[in-house]
Structure 1
């Protein structure tokens, strides 16, 4: 208290040093200043106290669940979360005491749960290199689209120990989702990766790469850092990329291929958009298998829904998310992947949350040993306009629609002021849908809505594991038993039917 008084007195002395005012005036000024200062302190003190009560004490009370009588529904839900937090905290304490460690050693032990090499070369390997690493034959093929994008697609032409080096007639084309690449499918390795599994049961496996990702970042005339290069969404993928890839495979296989299309996330969106507008491909493909299918988007849990309110302001979203590319592959992610074995549990959790924030997170099914290689390959790149396109769908009540250029732009592009919907009823290809209850992007409501609108559905299979999420279709520990066994079963059904179709298979929803 002495210091503030001394400071005030010094200030007053300086103010009065150049004047001839008597000391009685100085004392009056001192008294007035002191009074004002005390009033200020009392006022701020009350404010600080109130701030503490409202913002600190209340939250601490809430955090440790002292509110034993919740009144509103919100309070009840909050109360449940508080009890959960309290239980977890007690568990940490109990674990620390049992292990005779400090609390924070228990929460963030120095040794991580999995073992991996800091300099694991697989982190920086390409898709063909990863395939070859496991003893499989790998191929790279270059495809040029009608609008000039140069795509690189990958292939496992036959099984690891195949007696004949001739690729089988049965063919599977796998297409990754948003921010992904062909590497997504092979990251889990030979025992759990779908391409390896398909190869071993007699399929010629092709892995697509969408324009703009790590393997398809080239154009015959456009610079990759230009707006013109990145001016596309999943619509252009459906109109140019998929047809070019399918036509190329058919040409390589002399027009005799029976192509089974297996897509994940945006890979299914592009399929539905293509089949509904370029209907001839309903007769070229044999069947479609949609893992975590995204078409209608009315019931999302994903934070991507927060972008919807800005979807009419495309320029603002482009500034917010990146003028051209959304989430590019960069040196920071590569550095993080290299050092993933050294991070503690707290930092590891941050990595997991950032990776799964758009798709949901399933702690029980996520294989942490894959984290270094995942971060080395994901994200592989995507256009910001693709995110904007999805945001527009969400804003427009989940309509599966073409890109919205605004009333005048739509009039020029489509001849109407509103963007047209994709005519899902035009899809006649036999298609099986695979969904899960914990999928933040492909909800059960939206997938069911899609299912009932398909002209020739095979099944709607719901993964029999409540916490299974959007990403689990690729990397879940039990994906082979929970998803791929059913997928293989459906692939082998209907072989040799009329038009290679699935005629005669019941179209029903499977829930276990």
Structure 2
């Protein structure tokens, strides 16, 4: 039970600093950070509190997750609004393993809801990626994006177990429309952890304005929705103009950024140029 007593707050406070300390200690050089999805949320939260920035050279954030109010994936919305995470904790569950008996039963419950099609789990979670999930096709003459072997390899290793507490925290982010620390559900518990009745908010506008950042987001992404990314960009409106690069890819969905057949040309080459000091 104690092993799973964490949410993404602990990734912000402990995991990222440990990774940065190790890499910085081994190389003695400031770090170029690349994050995708949850890896962008934890980075943004850390930067907003002034953590890691002294060891950081620049950051590339792909499919940035901060606000989740406009998330369109039916599976994710039903999970977030069902309060299942809180119910799981009430029944003493600490680990959520999608491949275990309890996790499988939960996914079946979600997938049985009207409007949720789990025949293609990648699409159900992330939106219609440029090659329409597991179907490998040529999209308007371009070799794009997910092929069946890539998706099969992904599903052999993912999704991995996480904590119920982390699921609850992500659900709170969806439901409450703010980027805040974990809400323990009782004022006295929050007071004990934070000295406040409500969890503190991560103020993303506090991210150092001279921190070089590259943000890339997609027009078909149902997790990192365009409106939510624009909310994030509004928080960054005071960022130094020459330190913030933004890339919008109309046909990209969430998984395209990490598994797309053309991601090297469309995304990663731009990240390398950014890291090499070329403002895009």
Q: Please indicate, yes or no, whether the TM-score normalized by the shorter chain is above 0.5.
A: yes
- Conservation of the 8 A alpha-carbon contact between 1:292 and 1:470: yes
Which of 247, 255, 259 is matched with 1:471 structurally? 255
Shift of 1:483: 1.3
Q: Which residue of 2 aligns with 1:326?
A: 96
Shift of 1:469: 0.8
Structure 1 residue 287 corresponds to structure 2 residue 58: yes
Which of 349, 374, 395 is matched with 2:154 structurally? 374
Structure 1 residue 402 corresponds to structure 2 residue 188: no
Shift of 1:319: 6.8
CA change 1:416–1:237 in 2 (3 A) is same
Q: Which residue of 1 aligns with 2:123?
A: 356
Q: Which residue of 1 aligns with 2:222?
A: 440
Which of 223, 226, 245 is matched with 1:459 structurally? 245
Shift of 1:352: 6.0
- Conservation of the 8 A alpha-carbon contact between 1:300 and 1:442: yes
Shift of 1:356: 3.2
Shift of 1:275: 1.4
Q: CA–CA distance in 2 between the matches of 1:461 and 1:310? A: 34
Shift of 1:488: 1.8
Which of 273, 277, 280 is matched with 1:489 structurally? 273
Q: Which structure is richer in relative contact order (CA contacts within 8 A, separation 6 or more)?
A: 2
Q: CA–CA distance in 1 between the matches of 2:55 and 2:10? A: 20
Q: CA–CA distance in 2 between the matches of 1:314 and 1:408? A: 20
- Conservation of the 8 A alpha-carbon contact between 1:310 and 1:317: no
Structure 1 residue 449 corresponds to structure 2 residue 223: no
Structure 1 SS opposite 2:126: coil
Q: CA–CA distance in 1 between the matches of 2:151 and 2:218? A: 22
Shift of 1:266: 0.3
> Equivalent residues in 2 for 1:202-241 (5 A)?
227-241=1-15
Residue by residue, what CA displacement relative to the aligned partner does 1:188-219 show, whole Å, maximum 9, x if unpaired?
A: xxxxxxxxxxxxxxxxxxxxxxxxxxxxxxxx
Structure 1 residue 249 corresponds to structure 2 residue 20: no
Q: CA–CA distance in 1 between the matches of 2:171 and 2:189? A: 18
Structure 1 SS opposite 2:246: strand
Residues paired across the two proteins, number: 244
Residue by residue, what CA displacement relative to the aligned partner does 1:67-109 show, whole Å, maximum 9, x if unpaired?
A: xxxxxxxxxxxxxxxxxxxxxxxxxxxxxxxxxxxxxxxxxxx
- Conservation of the 8 A alpha-carbon contact between 1:300 and 1:443: yes
Q: CA–CA distance in 1 between the matches of 2:26 and 2:148? A: 39
Q: CA–CA distance in 2 between the matches of 1:234 and 1:408? A: 21
Which of 427, 437, 441 is matched with 2:207 structurally? 427
Q: Which residue of 2 aligns with 1:263?
A: 35
Q: Which residue of 1 aligns with 2:191?
A: 411
Q: CA–CA distance in 1 between the matches of 2:221 and 2:154? A: 20
CA change 1:381–1:352 in 2 (3 A) is same
Shift of 1:325: 2.2
CA change 1:351–1:392 in 2 (3 A) is closer
Larger radius of gyration: 1
Q: Which residue of 1 aligns with 2:47?
A: 275
Q: CA–CA distance in 2 between the matches of 1:249 and 1:357? A: 35
Shift of 1:472: 0.9
CA RMSD of aligned residues (A): 2.4
Structure 2 SS opposite 1:323: coil
Residue by residue, what CA displacement relative to the aligned partner does 1:238-268 show, whole Å, maximum 9, x if unpaired?
A: 1001101110111111x2x131000000011
Residue by residue, what CA displacement relative to the aligned partner does 1:471-496 show, whole Å, maximum 9, x if unpaired?
A: 111111211122112222212125xx
- Conservation of the 8 A alpha-carbon contact between 2:85 and 2:167: no
